[in-house]
Amino acid sequence: MKLRKIILIVFALQILFTLGMKILSYTGDDSTELKSRTLKYFTTDDIEKGIEYGRRGFFARIASQVIDFLILGIFAFTSLAIRIEEYLEAKSKSRYYLMVALFFISFSIIEFIASLPLQYYFGFVLEHKFGFSKMTFVDWVIYTAKSALVGLGFGMLIALGAAFILKTFEKTWKYLIPTGSLVLGLVFSILYPIIITPIFYDYKPIEEGSLKTKIVNLCDHAKIKVENVYVINESKYSGHTNAYFTGWGDNRKIFLYDTLIKNHTEEEVISVLGHEIGHWTHNHELTFLVGNTIEMFLLCLLIGYIFQVAKANSEFTLKEIYSPSSWPLLFLIISIAGTITNPFWNTFSRYQEAQADMEALVLTNDKKSFIDTEIKMAKDNKSRLNPHPWVVFYSYSHPKTIDRIKMAEEFSGQ
């Protein structure tokens, strides 16, 4: 069978599969067994709210997904990208990097405009409807503009970096791109709080007091060194809660959303931090980065091979691999590969999350606060309490709430 036909069939299967998963995530799991387990900790109203929030904008989501696939398909299977590239090549007088930059900007603008109505609907209208967003319309415009510019800036850096490697290292790009992304990931973890966080938030070191003392004690108990603990003002945007670590070694910083501190007891905050420490002591971030690098390397081999075959039998109109007009086909392959590897990554992620939960329980020996946190967070975030098992398998990065509670219930202490 011709390569073009194979890719087209796999792409069609990917679209059907993705839409099928969306339908399953709409329906959820209505088994009575799950419901009775859930009702031990939640009310019928909590379940209903989770269903309602999970189903929000269902048709808009389907439409957006179909539009994304259509754009990708049109660019990958027609000569439209070549025509745009030739136009930009003339405009930039054949200066390669300028042409790549113009190509990237044009795509980003088209993408931004196409997704703007849905961003407004999901990020502003629905978040207000469900009582999450604290933003006025002007706040939302500023936030969206900032996000778009940050995305454009970083996307441009990555696009130019990839273009440089593809153009300069014709034979070794397959090794250099995964290595480059690993280095970028490591550096980014240090730079993120210094460069990105201040664009969106104000943050300051946590005030002296009982919570700080408890955090210091927890870190001592876990035998880890933290540079400092910061509080960031998420309450300016929403009621969503979170906590995370950034950096490596002695440069490690803890970030707590002010919403987490406001809505939870100190013991519950400690339980959340215990979970984050679990990720750290088990080297989850590093494992993820290394795994990602290996996956990228395999993907580069696959892309290199498919590109070679596609170009050799001229089933696709392709220039060089470093020509931006070739990239839609490469993105299509990456997208299909992502659909296939997604359940593997998420299963691995759920395993790591359970490991971090266990670490929190062992460190704090306080399963009551752990369970109370799970209940409160699920209620506050209107989490879906009855997700379909296939959706959990395919796309959940965390075990479902009731399973996390079950694990804590079964924990017997030290």
259/325 with CB nearer Zn ion: 259
Min dist. Cβ of residue 278 to Zn ion (A): 8
CB of 281 to Zn ion, least distance (A): 13
In this structure, the chain runs to a length of 414
Widest pairwise Cα distance in the chain: 70
| Terminal Cα-to-Cα distance of the chain (whole angstroms) | 61
With contact defined as beta carbons under 8 Å apart, do 256 and 203 qualify? no
| Closest CB to Zn ion among residues 325, 373 | 373
Residue whose CB is less far from Zn ion, 242 or 335: 242
* CB 18, min distance to Zn ion, A: 26
Q: How far is the CB of 106 from Zn ion (least distance, A)?
A: 38
Provide the minimum distance between the beta carbon of 377 and Zn ion in the complex, in angstroms, as a whole number: 12
Q: Which listed range, 35-43, 190-198, 321-329, 348-356, lies at the site for Zn ion (CB under 5 A)?
A: 348-356
CB of 406 to Zn ion, least distance (A): 17
- Closer residue to Zn ion in complex, CB, 231/356: 356
Query: What span, in angstroms and rounded, lies between the C-alpha atoms of 108 and 159?
Result: 12
The residue (of 330 and 356) whose beta carbon lies closer to Zn ion is: 356
Site for Zn ion in 70-109 (CB under 5 A): none
Indicate the angle between helix axes 210-221 and 327-364, nearest 10 degrees. 100
Q: Which is nearer to Zn ion, 92 or 292 (CB)?
A: 292
Residue 318, number of CB atoms within 10 A of its CB: 18
Q: How far is the CB of 350 from Zn ion (least distance, A)?
A: 10
H or E element in which residue 228 lies: strand 228-232
Residue 46 or 353: the one with the smaller Cβ distance to Zn ion is 353
Look-up of token digits 């990105």: 196
Q: Which of 129, 133, 122, 127 is nearest to 58 (CA)?
A: 122
Min dist. Cβ of residue 367 to Zn ion (A): 17
CA dihedral 148, 150, 151, 157 (to 10 degrees): 140
- Of 231 and 360, which CB lies nearer to Zn ion in the complex structure? 360
Q: Virtual CA dihedral for 264, 130, 115, 62, nearest 10 degrees?
A: 110
Residue 133: strand pairing partners: 238
Which position has the token pair 């704090």?
A: 364
**Burial of 1: CB neighbours in 10 Å, binned 0-12, 13-18, 19+:** exposed
Which of the residues 321 through 340 are near Zn ion (CB under 5 A)?
Answer: none
Q: Which residues contact 70 (CB under 8 A, 6 or more apart)?
A: none
Question: How far is C-alpha 127 from the chain's CA centre?
Answer: 19
| Shortest distance in whole angstroms from residue 271 CB to Zn ion | 12
Q: Which of 176, 173, 181 is nearest to 288 (CA)?
A: 181
**Residue found by looking up tokens 């997904």 in the block:** 65
Q: Which is nearer to Zn ion, 85 or 357 (CB)?
A: 357
- Contacts with Zn ion: how many residues (CB under 5 A)? 2
Q: How far is the CB of 387 from Zn ion (least distance, A)?
A: 17
Name the segment binding Zn ion (CB under 5 A); options: 202-210, 228-236, 323-331, 347-355: 347-355
Binding track, positions 350-389, relative to Zn ion; x by CB under 5 A:
---x--x---------------------------------
- Edge-to-edge strand ranges of the sheet holding 203-205: 203-205, 228-232, 253-257, 243-246
Residue 277: CB atoms within 10 Å: 25
In angstroms, what is the minimal distance from the CB of 294 to Zn ion?
22
Q: Which is nearer to Zn ion, 356 or 408 (CB)?
A: 356
Site for Zn ion in 28-47 (CB under 5 A): none
Question: What gap in Å lies between CA 34 and CA 29, rounded to an integer?
Answer: 8
Token pair in block for residue 61? 């989501």
Of the pair 279, 384, the CB lying nearest Zn ion is at: 279
Residues that bind Zn ion (CB under 5 A): 353, 356
